[in-house]
């Protein structure tokens, strides 16, 4: 009787998910389809004449030097992800076992992630100020006469952004690692110790392989998240100086809302989408190959 | 010889204790642990130096701002920059009210709708459920950059561009939230639903009377994460808001900084205004935030 009742209530399932489905359709599915059409047009905001131009936007894109520059900048930006993961791993291993004041320390490392956003980006902008900023004041104090120009020179700006991003992501990665480390059985750790493994060897040959699924997950999600972000860069450098901090996602934004080249911007956004798709596919394949529980 | 024996027995005694207690056996380890703690504290405080410097600068006079070595606490505490941020024609009060309005409405909506859909996806068996859920999750892959332009045009058509609705309405639908709630509901024993069925309750009643009250911790987690996301959201506000009087805190902050490019103390007072709510959320809800991000990250 119970079963039949549940059968009868099946339609309620659609009722429960309907509001969300409607929203997701309207704010995700429909815009995606719309964007797919837009990328084949020369649509510019407020211009009435819209033409289908086929693959013209892509032809233009592959000739656009800023596109290649933005790819290079994106690569430098993505390089911050493994660095942050590795640092987070060491912090998590240390905080997991051999310290007092665990909760305080965890909170200190985690705070930047929670308070993210442009507010703290502006603080970094001043910290990095080349002539009077505190970071360079410190560097001069310890004897470096020509400290880098950080955000103000084309050669260093992207790396300065990397530092901010590493600082910001560290807490997130650490939290996930801490959760993963809780899963490692203490017996296994004890066995390693009894076998005479030194701390470093335990970390290198026992802990690191055991958390490899977590590392892989953090790498993939971190890369995707980094591909999608542009807020802090838009806030503090607007992609400059020159185009030295114009990453791909910012390139989309600027074409769409600074130059109102919306067809062109749509085409670029699909290139970005494809890169994310490739990373996701690697995750699917990799999960089967790498992840051993 | 004697000494060696005691050392050995001590070692054996230590091994016999469970790991947790072994830490308290006096010896070399504790000094080491203390040293590691001090080193980690140094790095930990290095992590929050930007916050400390921000606040310290916000209560300094311009002359003291870049004095080296740093004066963390200025000789004379100067609240003028904070007063400037909170009063005057472009007061942060407006930005705060806008941000609170958007974040609160969107968060309440998103939390409720996520719970509703999470229940549907976990506790009601209907045709095409799994396929639908998969399609649903796959939407998460679409980067916001793909959506900005079409949403901008669509919102312009339906007349919500440059209104708070442009942020609130899409903000009420979070795929991650549905995922989180579904996970939580899957963990509630099936017997609870069955006994309620036998008592004649329908899904709506079970959802409102049993599941919602049971899932307070999950709802709190979701609400906190969602609220901070909306509070920090700069990118959407940048694309969809135009009028200064509609600005949220991140946009207001940017505006303040563009207009006061040399007033470093004022900039840091404004940044403080933007960050304080997040620090409060962090202090009150750290446990929920940690739970939320570990639950959503470890899904594979």
Q: B221-239 pLDDT, tens per residue?
A: 899 889 988 999 999 999 9
Question: Residue A27 domain-assigned?
Answer: no
Question: Residue A23 domain-assigned?
Answer: no
Residues B238 and B152 in one domain: yes
Asked if residue B125 has pLDDT above 60, the reply is yes
Closest residue by Cα to residue A92 from A177, A27, A26: A177
Residues B36 and B162 in one domain: no
Residues B124 and B15 in one domain: no
Question: Residue A139 domain-assigned?
Answer: yes
Provide the residue range defining the domain that includes A265.
Answer: 57-290
Report chain A residues whose CB lies below 8 A from the CB of B33. 98-100
Cβ separation of A111 and B274 shorter than 8 Å? Answer: no
Secondary structure of chain B in the HEC alphabet? Answer: CHHHHHHHHHHHHHHHCCHHHHCCCCCHHHHHHHHHHHHHHHHHHHHHHHHHHHHHHHCCCHHHCCCCCCCCCCCCCCCHHHHHHHCCCCCHHHHHHHHHHHHHHHHHHHHHHHHHHHHHHHHCCCCCHHHHHHHHHHHHHCCHHHHHHHHHHHHHHHCCCCCCHHHHHHHCCCHHHHHHHHHHHHCCCHHHHHHHHHCCCCHHHHHHHHHHHHCHHHHHHHHHHHHHHHHHCCHHHHHHCCCHHHCCHHHHHHHHHHHCCCCHHHHHHHHHHHHHHHHHHHHHHHHHHHHHHHHHHCCC
Nearest-by-CA chain B residue for A236: B254
Quote the number of domains for chain B: 2
Question: Residue B72 domain-assigned?
Answer: no
CATH number, residue B105: 1.10.3720.10
Q: pLDDT digits over B181-225, tens only?
A: 998 898 888 888 888 888 888 888 889 988 999 888 889 889 988
Provide the pLDDT for residue B4: 43
CATH number, residue A140: 1.10.3720.10
Residues B187 and B291 in one domain: yes
Provide the pLDDT for residue A164: 94
What are the residues whose beta carbons fall under 8 Å from the beta carbon of A245, sequence distance 6 or more? Answer: A73, A151, A157, A158, A161, A233, A237, A239
Report chain A residues whose CB lies below 8 A from the CB of B142. 28, 32, 273
Q: How confident is the model at residue A12 (pLDDT cuts 50, 70, 90)?
A: confident
Distance CA A105, CA B43 (A): 9
Q: How confident is the model at residue B76 (pLDDT cuts 50, 70, 90)?
A: confident
Residues B46 and B122 in one domain: no
Cβ separation of A27 and B114 shorter than 8 Å? Answer: no
Decide if A110 contacts B290 (C-beta within 8 A). Answer: yes
pTM over 0.80, yes/no: yes
Question: Residue A103 domain-assigned?
Answer: yes
Tokens of B281: 């959320």
Nearest to A235 among B53, B203, B254 (CB): B254
Question: Residue B63 domain-assigned?
Answer: no
Decide if B73 contacts B56 (C-beta within 8 A). Answer: yes
Asked if residue A292 has pLDDT above 60, the reply is no
- Interface test with chain A among B145, B240, B261, B280, by most A beta carbons within 10 Å: B145
SS3 A52: strand
Asked if residue B276 has pLDDT above 60, the reply is yes
Dihedral of alpha carbons A176, A121, B237, B240, sign:
negative
Residues B51 and B130 in one domain: no
Residues B17 and B135 in one domain: no
Nearest-by-CA chain B residue for A137: B68
Residues B269 and B213 in one domain: yes
Q: How confident is the model at residue B152 (pLDDT cuts 50, 70, 90)?
A: very high
Provide the residue range defining the domain that includes B196.
Answer: 86-297
Report chain B residues whose CB lies below 8 A from the CB of A105. 37, 40-41, 44
- Interface test with chain B among A37, A117, A139, A217, by most B beta carbons within 10 Å: A117
**C-alpha dihedral (B205, B207, B208, B213), degrees to nearest 10:** 130
Question: Residue B264 domain-assigned?
Answer: yes
C-alpha distance from B11 to closest chain A C-alpha (Å) = 12
Quote the number of domains for chain A: 1
Which residue has better confidence, A246 or A145? A246
Question: Residue A178 domain-assigned?
Answer: yes
Closest residue by Cα to residue B54 from A166, A233, A127, A116: A127
**C-alpha dihedral (B270, B274, B277, B283), degrees to nearest 10:** -90
Asked if residue A293 has pLDDT above 90, the reply is no
Q: What is the mean pLDDT of residues B59-83?
A: 83
Report chain B residues whose CB lies below 8 A from the CB of A230. 145, 235
Question: Residue A144 domain-assigned?
Answer: yes
Closest residue by Cα to residue A3 from B159, B168, B193, B232: B193
Q: pLDDT digits over B6-52, tens only?
A: 444 444 544 544 454 444 444 455 788 888 899 999 999 999 999 99
Residues B19 and B161 in one domain: no
Maximum CA pair distance of chain A?
83
Q: What is the mean pLDDT of residues A39-65?
A: 88
Decide if B66 contacts A132 (C-beta within 8 A). Answer: yes
User: DSSP code of A41?
Assistant: B
Residues B50 and B166 in one domain: no
Residues B34 and B125 in one domain: no
């Amino acid at each position: 009787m119970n079963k039949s009742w549940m059968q009868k209530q099946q339609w309620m399932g659609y009722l429960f998910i309907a509001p969300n489905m409607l929203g997701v359709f309207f704010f995700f599915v429909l815009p995606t389809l719309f964007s797919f059409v837009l990328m084949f047009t020369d649509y510019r905001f407020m211009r009435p004449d819209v033409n289908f131009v086929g693959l013209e936007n892509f032809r233009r894109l592959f000739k656009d030097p800023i596109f290649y520059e933005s790819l290079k900048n994106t690569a430098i930006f993505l390089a911050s992800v493994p660095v942050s993961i590795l640092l987070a791993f060491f912090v998590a291993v240390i905080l997991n076992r051999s310290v007092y004041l665990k909760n305080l320390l965890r909170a200190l490392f985690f705070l930047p992630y929670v308070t993210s956003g442009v507010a703290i980006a502006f603080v970094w902008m001043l910290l990095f100020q080349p002539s009077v900023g505190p970071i360079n004041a410190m560097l001069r104090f310890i004897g470096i006469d020509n400290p880098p120009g950080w955000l103000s020179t084309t050669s260093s700006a992207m790396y300065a952004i990397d530092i901010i991003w590493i600082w910001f992501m560290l807490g997130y990665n650490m939290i996930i690692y801490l959760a993963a480390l809780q899963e490692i059985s203490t017996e296994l750790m004890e066995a390693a110790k009894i076998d005479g493994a030194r701390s470093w060897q335990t970390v290198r040959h026992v802990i690191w392989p055991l958390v490899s699924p977590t590392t892989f997950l953090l790498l993939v999600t971190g890369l995707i998240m980094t591909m999608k972000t542009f807020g802090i860069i838009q806030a503090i450098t607007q992609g400059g100086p020159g185009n030295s901090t114009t990453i791909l996602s910012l390139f989309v934004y600027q074409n769409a809302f600074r130059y109102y080249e919306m067809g062109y911007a749509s085409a670029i956004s699909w290139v970005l989408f494809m890169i994310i798709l490739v990373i996701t596919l690697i995750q699917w394949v990799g999960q089967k190959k790498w992840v051993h529980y | 010889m004697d000494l060696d024996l005691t050392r050995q027995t001590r070692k054996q005694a230590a091994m016999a204790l469970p790991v947790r207690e072994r830490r308290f056996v006096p010896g070399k380890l504790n000094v080491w642990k203390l040293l590691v703690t001090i080193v980690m504290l140094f790095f930990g405080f290095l992590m929050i130096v930007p916050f400390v410097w921000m606040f310290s600068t916000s209560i300094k006079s311009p002359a003291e701002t870049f004095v080296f070595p740093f004066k963390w606490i200025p000789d004379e505490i100067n609240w003028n920059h904070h007063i400037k941020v909170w009063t005057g024609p472009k007061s942060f009060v407006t930005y705060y009210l806008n941000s609170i309005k958007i974040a609160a409405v969107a968060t309440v909506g998103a939390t409720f709708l996520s719970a509703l859909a999470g229940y549907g996806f976990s506790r009601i068996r209907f045709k095409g459920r799994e396929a639908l859920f998969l399609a649903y999750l796959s939407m998460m892959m679409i980067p916001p950059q793909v959506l900005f332009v079409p949403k901008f045009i669509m919102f312009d058509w339906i007349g919500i561009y440059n209104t708070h609705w442009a942020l609130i309405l899409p903000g009420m639908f979070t795929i991650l939230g549905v995922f989180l709630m579904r996970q939580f509901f899957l963990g509630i024993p099936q017997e609870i639903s069955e006994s309620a069925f036998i008592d004649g309750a329908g899904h709506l009643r079970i959802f409102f009377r049993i599941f919602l009250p049971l899932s307070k911790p999950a709802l709190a987690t979701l609400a906190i994460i969602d609220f901070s996301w909306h509070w920090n959201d700069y990118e959407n506000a940048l694309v969809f808001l135009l009028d200064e009087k509609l600005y949220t805190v991140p946009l207001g902050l940017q505006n303040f900084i563009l207009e006061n490019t040399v007033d470093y103390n004022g900039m840091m007072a404004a940044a403080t205004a933007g960050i304080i709510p997040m620090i409060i959320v962090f202090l009150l809800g750290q446990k929920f935030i940690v739970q939320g991000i570990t639950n959503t990250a470890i899904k594979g």
